[in-house]
Every structure is written in structure tokens, then in C-alpha cells.
Structure 1
Amino acid sequence: MSPGATPGMPSAGRRLQLLAGVTSLLIVPFLFFGGPDWSSGPVYKSAWNLGHILLFALLTLTVRPWQWLQGWRLWLAVTSVLLAAGIVIELLQYGHDREMDVQDLLRNLIGSWLIIAWRPLFFSGNRKTAGSVLMAAFTTLLLLSELATTAQVAARQFQMNRQLPALYDFQREEPSPFWSGPLTSSQAHAPEGSKSLRINLGTETYSGVSLHNFPSDWRGFATLSLTLFNPDSQPLSVTLRINDVEHDRGDNAYSDRFNFRLDLEPGVNTFEIPLATIEQAPDQRPMDMSEIRRLGLFATRLPEPRSVYLLALALD
């Protein structure tokens, strides 16, 4: 009998191996085709990433590496092979217009480690040790951590969609899950009981921030309202950019999005923009108001660094 064989269960083990193998073959193509792209929403991306754990658990059941190795050699060999294979997969995915994600390497390992760790506890023919129980507990904690991350993302997105008509909750301490660019949460110039976002603009060709995680369905509203505070004595011009998912997945042409110049006088500046104007901004098509993907504020070729404060951003 080979190392790690399970006495008394050959037919059941073979059926499980066959089922795992067939299922793996059905899942493998999705590593390269389909699924989320760089413009997909956070929940979709997070849930899809859990598929790495399932796939590599199934592949481990199919290959059954414990037939040849045991103990630390089994763990070392599987970990080394999966890290090498994972790097190759990430590079190939990058060539198919998919994003590289180093965290996927850990998810691959979690799927395989779960099977290796839990197998000795499920079959009576395997000797159970304190080490095997500890490894099973450790891999389970890793799995629960990944599931908790997805649940946290889903909860955050649910809460975010309930904040409408506001497009951003200025009470948040950390804007990075929602915005990209040089900005920080601030108390300065904010309405009483609220906060502002300080946007730091540099002297590069284009300097600004982008809101990429917000309620995307703007149907049923008539106006976009935003308020900015210019703390300097000199006026400042910034551009408001808005686009939908189709624009992100296309060639990002200037004429395929909404661009609007905001001239900021010293102090408080409030702008109200009809959503109908935004919808009709692309030259060749109406903007999809059910899938607005990105809202940006940027300046162009400033002679010196400036700052501006965003005080409010909402639909009416």
C-alpha cells in the first residue's frame, strides 16, 4: 500500500478523485477567461477571488500528492510547486487583460493546504497528532480570514448604496477604499458636524483625485451637486470628469465622457449639474446612468502646488 493510502475506501476515494478532477477541468478556463476586469466592482472581484481556494482544493484532491510524500516534505513540495505555478498563472493572466494579484498566490496555497491539513483528521487510517490538528486549525483560520474579507467588502458596499443621495460619506476617516490620488480626510472648512476632503494638487500635467467606489446607479435623480472650498486668494480652475463602465472598458476617448471646467473663486463654491447634460456628454452614445464608474477632479499644469477642499458631493 502506498504512503497515505486510505484502507477500506478505494471506490469512494476514486469517485471523489474523479469528481474533483472533472470539476477542476471545468473551472480552470476561468483563470484566464471571463470574470472581473480592472473596472469591475469590489464585491464581484472579492467573491470571484475565492474561486482560487476552491480550484486548488479540487486539484489537490485530484493529484493526491500524499501518495508520494508525507510530513514536512509534502508541505514543502506542494507549497513550492504552487508558488511557481501561481506566478506563471499570474503572468499569463496579465497577458489576457486581467489584473495581477499577488494575494491569489496565498489563496492557491490555502485551497491546497486545507485538503492536506484536514485529510488526516477525516480518515481513520491516518494517525492524528497535535501537529495535524494545529495545521488544520491554522488553515481554517486562513480560510475564515478570506471569507471575512469578502463579507466585509459586501457589507461596506451595501452600506455605501444606502447612503444615497450622498455619493460619499465624509464622516469616514480613511478615504482610500473609495478614492485614489493625493487626498486626506480633514476638519478644515467643513460644515458643522461633518468633515471635508483635502485634495492636494501638484504641478504635473494632470494632478487630481478619482472617486472609483460609489453608488453607480444615478437613474431617478436630476442633478449632481458638489461644493468645494478654495482656501487661497487666487481663483483656481479644475476639471470634473465623469464616465461610465463602457468608457472604462473602451479606448478612454476624451469625447466619450463628461468633462466640465469648474472655476473656483476664493471661498465656498457650489455647482449643480443636470444629469441630463452628463448623460448626453459622449459624442456617439448616451452615457449609461445605471453604471457610472468614475468621477474625477483634476487640475492641469499648475504653476505651483495648490489645495482645495471637497465639502459635499450628492445627487438631487
Structure 2
Amino acid sequence: MIPYLPADRRARKARICQYLAFAGIVLIAPFFFIGGPQWTDGPLYKSAWNLGHILFFVLLTIAVQPWRIWAGWRLWLFATLAVFLFGLGIELLQYGLSRQMDWHDVLRNLLGLWAVLAVWPRAIRGRFSPPTVWVLRIIVAGLLIAEVGDIARIGIRQYQVSQLLPALYDFSREDPAPFWNGPITATPGNRQNDRQGQLEISLSTNRYSGASLDNFPHDWRGYRHLIVTMYNPQRHSMTLNLRINDVKHDLGDNAYNDRFNIRLELPPGEHSFRLDLDRIRDAPAGRRMDMGAVRRLGLFVSGLTEPKTVYLRDIRLE
């Protein structure tokens, strides 16, 4: 029996890698269109799930082996163009299936390709000078580290959010965007009351105008009351609407009577509202709100005749 030569062993390993890559593609491909994070899921889960784009295109590159067709800079150029167009097609198909398009996913697809091209022996052997190879590897590694670093930062931020209770928001933060939706900005606090910060909510004359807190500690079990402290700089009282709902409401038809709704009369100056959590829990018609999975809290107005501003100074449980 003739033993395998080193070249034969390399070819055999390459074929095994190719077959395993094809198997991985078959397993992963359906998840571009089914499963995955819902719009109600948290930012960490969504970010971690997106790493699947990199893994899929690593496997796809190994399976297709574009270095059998092109070499050198032509390999990088034409393979990049092919993956860009393929990834763009996936995003358009997802959009057609009522899933959200994300142009960052196209970059993640390219990262999967570039990661293989930068290290696969047949893709670089004899095609580039050693300094060029290492420059390419450093660039690709930097992009991958930045991608994973973003997820790590989100993980750290979400851990900090989970440790906020009984507070629902950290008013010392300079950027409320990862936590709030709407026309809201952080402003300096009230030194007299020793506040670290407050949030300015700009209210317009649109039919509905306000802000919603989406990223906060969701398990309210074990607490009795919700405290909301606001400041009204106008010389007259104004009415704000407060709505609170759980995950089940977000996944349903968003019916008005399936959440907690209340009108808050806010006089001039600072005022605190103390709301019974049992009342919030029992608000949905025909069921109880899941107080271990509270998902969204909104403050809004309707039908203003002129723009106004209010300040949120505290929001916490007790």
C-alpha cells in the first residue's frame, strides 16, 4: 500500500474542511430567515446573534474556495464584490419577509470572508510579500476585535443595567440613546437637590409626542411602588400619559386595554408620582401583567398646540 505523501494529506484535510463547511452552511442558512431575536429582545442577544454572519461567511468561503479561481489582489477584489452582492441579496430577502435590514450585517459578511483569506495558506502563499500579508492580517484582526469589542461593551452595559435596581435609569449617564427612544437629552442636575442629572423631554405638536424607556431592569417583582419625579418649567399644569407594558403585550396586538395607562397631572415645578405596582400588574384586561418581564415604559402627550419641555428627574421602584 502506497503511503500518503504530505501533499496528499494536505489535500485530504482541505477536502474534510470543505465538507464540514458545507455541513455548517446547511445548518446555519435557515436562521437568516427563521428564528433569531425578536424586536422585543435585548441588545446583548441581538448583538451576539449577529456574529452568526461572520461564522456563516467563514464557512461559505472555505466551502467555495475562491482561491481556485482567482489569486492575489484579484482574489480579494472579486471575492469581496461577490460576498457584498450576496449579502445585499440576503438583506433584501429578509426585508421582503418583514425582517429588519441591517447594513452592518454586510460588513460582518465581509469580515467572515476576509478572515479566511488572511490566514488560509492557498489564498496567500506566494501571492503577497510577507509584510503585505501581515498588514492584511492586522487590519482584519483589528476589525474583528472591534466587532467583538462592541459586543463586550454592550454586555458590560447590560450588566450595569441589571444592577441598577431599585433605580430604573442612571441619570449620571451622558448619552440616553442606548436606553431611551424619543426626543430626549441629558442635562445637568439640580444642585440644590443633589441630583447628578436629569433628562429633558422635548414635546412637539405631533399627535403623539414623548419618549419611552426600553432598556432597564425588567424584573419588578418584590417591589411595591413606582416613583416618577418630573419637573414642569411651564407656568401652567400639563397632562402627561404614562404607559407600561410587558413582553407579552409587545408580542401581541398592542391593544390599549392590554397594558397599564394613566394620565398624570403635572403642576408647575417639581412633582413626584407614586404608583402602586399591584395596580399596574392588574391593568391588562383578562390577565395579569408579567412583573418579571416588564418591557417598556412611555411618557407622552397628545394634541399640544405648541411645543413644550418637561424634565424627568427620577424613576425608580420601592
* Normalised-by-shorter TM-score class: over 0.9
CA distance in 2, matches of 1:138, 1:127: 15
Q: 1:172 to 1:76 in 2, by over 3 A?
A: same
| Structure-2 residue corresponding to 1:258 | 260
Q: What displacement does 1:258 show?
A: 0.9
Residues 258, 281 of structure 1: 8 Å contact kept? yes
Which residue in 1 is equivalent to 2:76? 75
Distance 1:228 1:309 in 2: 6
1:242 is matched with which residue?
A: 244
Q: Residue deviations 1:132-157, cap 9 Å, x none?
A: 22111111111111100000000000
Greater CA drift, 107-116 or 95-104: 95-104
Describe how 1:1-316 pairs up with structure 2 within 5 A.
7-8=7-8, 9-120=10-121, 129-187=130-188, 189=190, 191-316=193-318
Supply the AA of the counterpart residue of 2:250: D
Amino acid at match of 1:284: G
- Output the CA distance in 1 between the equivalents of 2:155 and 2:197: 25
Q: 164-173 or 32-41: which moved more?
A: 32-41
**Preserved CA contact (<8 Å) 1:244 1:291:** yes
Q: CA deviation at 1:82?
A: 1.2
Instruction: Report the Cα offset of residue 121 of structure 1.
Output: 8.7
Paired residues of 1:180 and 1:210 also in contact (CA < 8 A) = yes
SS of residue paired to 1:224: strand
| Whole-angstrom distance in 2 between the partners of 1:170 and 1:268 | 16
Instruction: Indicate how the Cα distance of structure 1 residues 293 and 141 shifts in structure 2: closer, same or farther if over 3 A, else same.
Output: same
TM-score scaled by length of structure 1: 0.94
Residues 72, 127 of structure 2: 8 Å contact kept: no
Amino acid at match of 1:186: T
Give secondary structure in 2 for the equivalent of 1:111.
Answer: helix
Q: Secondary structure at the match of 2:222?
A: coil
Structure 2: distance between partners of 1:123 and 1:16: 18
Q: What is the DSSP-based 3-state SS (H/G/I as helix, E as strand, rest coil) of the residue aligned with 2:244?
A: strand
Q: Which runs of 5+ in 1 are unaligned?
A: 1-5
Distance in 2 separating the partners of 1:294 and 1:248:
9
SS at the partner of 1:56?
helix
> Do the aligned partners of 2:71 and 2:127 also contact (CA within 8 Å) in 1?
no
Is residue 225–residue 314 contact of structure 1 (8 Å, CA) maintained in 2? yes
Q: Which moved more, 1:37-46 or 1:149-158?
A: 37-46
TM-aligned CA deviation for residue 94 of structure 1: 2.1
Q: Could you say what secondary structure the match of 1:304 adopts?
A: coil
The two structures, once aligned, show a CA RMSD in angstroms of 1.8
- Greater alpha carbon shift after TM alignment, 273-282 vs 43-52: 273-282
Question: CA separation of 1:127/1:175 partners in 2, compared to 1, >3 Å: closer, same or farther?
Answer: closer
Distance 1:140 1:152 in 2: 18
Q: Is the 8 A contact 2:87 2:109 kept in 1?
A: yes
SS at match of 1:91: helix
User: Which sections of structure 2, spanning at least 5 residues, go unmatched?
Assistant: 1-5
Structure 2 SS opposite 1:214: coil
TM-score of the superposed pair, with normalisation by structure 2: 0.94
Count of paired positions: 311
Question: 1:3 corresponds to which residue?
Answer: none
Deviates more, 1:190-199 or 1:232-241: 190-199
Percentage of matched positions with identical amino acids: 48
Q: Specify whether residues 123 and 87 from structure 1 end up closer, same or farther in structure 2 by C-alpha distance, changes over 3 A only.
A: closer
**Contact 1:120/1:128 (<8 A) preserved:** no
CA contact under 8 A between 1:90 and 1:101: conserved in structure 2? yes
Q: 1:97 to 1:220 in 2, by over 3 A?
A: farther
Return the alpha-carbon distance in structure 2 between the equivalents of residues 226 and 40 of structure 1: 25
Residues of 2 paired with 1:88 and 1:126: CA distance? Answer: 31
Mapped to 2, the partners of 1:68 and 1:258 lie a distance apart of: 61
- The 8 Å contact of residues 7 and 125 in structure 1, kept in 2 or not, is answered as no
Please give the per-residue CA displacement for 1:92-120, whole angstroms capped at 9, x wherever unaligned: 21233322111000000000110011113
Q: Deviations over 1:275-315 (max 9, x none)?
A: 11111111132111111111110000111111111010001
How far apart are 1:127 and its partner, in Å? 6.6
Shift of 1:247: 1.3
Q: Secondary structure at the match of 1:133?
A: helix
